Amino acid sequence: MVESIFKHTAKTVMIMATFTFVGTLGLAFIQEFSKDKIEVNESIEKMKSFAQVLPATAYDNKPLEDFVKVPAGGELNNRSETKIYVAKLAGVATAVILETTARDGYSGDIKLLMAVRNDGSISGVRVIAHKETPGLGDYIDVLHGDWIKSFNQLSLTTRPSAQWKVKKDGGQFDYMAGATITPRAVVNITQAALRYVEANKAQLFAAQKHS
């Protein structure tokens, strides 16, 4: 009888162990599958955002695989490490796509995505995150106006440093009455990002492919 109980217990333990193993294996598979799917979706969304600041005809490589890592802070002012992606056409770097953060927005951080061509000119800028007041400071978002497009084609050479200000401060950028802080922050960080690209041009436009 004791032997029978022992065999029954051993059998039960083996069954439980098998179910546990199979369950763990299945869970691991699901997690890995989900992870891959999430990464693919994130890549698709990122490429869609790239298309807003740089036309697809400007490159034939995979920018997500050509990048330079940039630590938090510095001229780009991001709160965490970011990547600067390099767009190439026929092996030649045509532009870089980067994120930069204005921490002095009226309602906090204003995060931008911008593309800068190899001649130092801006291809496009978009606000990708902000908390500015609806109907007032949110006109910096392309969903609420074309103000952000005023940066298109500009560079440090075509617009002198003194003009990189809103008109209220003696510069060349329009602003909405009652909402000066927001555009001022965007103009300042955009100019800072251009300076960063110019100062690091050799390194950025020679980025190697990452596997």
Residue 59: give the domain boundaries: 54-204
Query: Residue 34 domain-assigned?
Result: yes
Q: Could you tell me which of 112, 44, 56, 43 has the C-alpha nearest to residue 88? A: 56
Q: What is the pLDDT of residue 1?
A: 54
pLDDT less than 70: residues of the chain:
1-13, 16-17, 19, 21-23, 25-40, 207-211
User: Hey, CA dihedral for 198, 62, 91, 208, is it positive or negative?
Assistant: positive
Q: What is the pLDDT of residue 91?
A: 93
Domain boundary among 33, 52, 71: 52
Q: What is the pLDDT of residues 148-167, one digit of tens each?
A: 999 999 999 999 999 999 99
Token pair for 180: 């000066």
Q: How far apart are the first and last CA of the chain?
A: 63
Please state the pTM of the whole predicted model: 0.80
Within this chain, do residues 38 and 58 fall inside the same structural domain, yes or no?
no
Query: Residue 71 domain-assigned?
Result: yes
Task: State the chain's mean pLDDT as an integer.
Answer: 88
- Helical H segments across the chain, by residue range: 2-53, 181-199, 201-204
Q: What is the pLDDT of residues 90-103, one digit of tens each?
A: 999 999 999 999 99
Within this chain, do residues 139 and 36 fall inside the same structural domain, yes or no?
no
Q: In whole angstroms, what is the distance from residue 61 CA to residue 82 CA?
A: 20
Within this chain, do residues 101 and 167 fall inside the same structural domain, yes or no?
yes
Contacts of 193 (CB under 8 A, 6+ apart): 75, 76, 98, 100, 112, 114, 116
Domain count, the chain: 2
Contact between residue 65 and residue 207 where contact means Cβ atoms under 8 Å apart: no
